[in-house]
Amino acid sequence: MLPERAQGLARLVRRWQPGRAIVLVGDSGDGVVALAETRRARDITLVARLRLTAALYGPVPPQPKGKPGVKPRKGPRLPTPGTVLTDPDTAWQELEMPWYGGETTAFDMVSDTVLWHRDGEPPVPIRRVLLRDPAGTLTPTVLGCTDQEATPLHIVAQYVGRWTSAVTFEEGAATSASRRSGSGPGAPSSGPRRACSACSASSP
């Protein structure tokens, strides 16, 4: 999904639901810093899969009073999720997590709050969740959530439930087109339904 299209959908959903908590969930193609910053600014939570090479940073360390120059926006560079995955000193926590098909699966999990950054974009505070299958059957998963107070269990549940969400990016784009053509927000989409990303609105 193109970031510009996703940003447009985020604006539409917020305009249609000004008083509700909104969570947008996507795969790694939606896990870009520009989207996270846009959604954070509009009070929309993003849950997305991150790459094992994602650039993550610690918080800005305390600065001496009266220190001249530009204040730093991020702290020291942290090990990538891929490095954490293979580090023998990583303190894994064993948890049962919701997974696909309505089942629960045992994972090794580590979670922390970090700053997510790419050159040219402001750092975005997120909660990172790294999952490792103890049996080695499933591919490691790295999730990022712009709600740093969300629990790892809640973040994983939102991510694996994205395929059953009622509103897809494609449907949102079709609704936007129907509104511009005067057909109204309830016009059905003529194209195929593809749940590559999803959004949901919930009461605060």
Nearest C-alpha neighbor of 58 from the set 40, 72, 44, 42: 72
Q: Tell me 77's DSSP state.
A: B
What's the pLDDT at 103? 86
pLDDT band for position 133 (cuts 50, 70, 90): very high
pLDDT digits (tens, 9 = 90+) for 26-64: 765 544 655 555 555 567 888 888 999 988 999 888 877
Q: Give the chain's domain count.
A: 1
pLDDT band for position 202 (cuts 50, 70, 90): very low
> Region 110-121: what's the mean pLDDT?
87
Nearest C-alpha neighbor of 46 from the set 162, 147, 170: 147
What's the pLDDT at 95? 92
Residue 163 in domain: yes
Residue 67 in domain: no
Q: What is the amino acid identity at position 141?
A: T
d(C-alpha 39, C-alpha 23), whole Å: 9
User: What's the pTM value of the predicted model, to 2 decimals?
Assistant: 0.71
Residue 68 in domain: no
pLDDT digits (tens, 9 = 90+) for 138-159: 999 999 998 999 999 999 999 9
Residue 188 in domain: no
Residue 165 in domain: yes
Residue 69 in domain: no
Contact 163, 132 (CB under 8 A): no
d(C-alpha 155, C-alpha 150), whole Å: 7
What's the pLDDT at 60? 85
DSSP string, 28-73: GGG--HHHHHHHHHTTEEEEEEPPTT--EE-PPPP--TT--SPPPS
Contact 126, 36 (CB under 8 A): yes
Residue 70 in domain: no
Residue 22 in domain: yes
Answer with the residue of higher pLDDT: 101 or 1.
Answer: 101
Does residue 4 have a pLDDT over 90? no
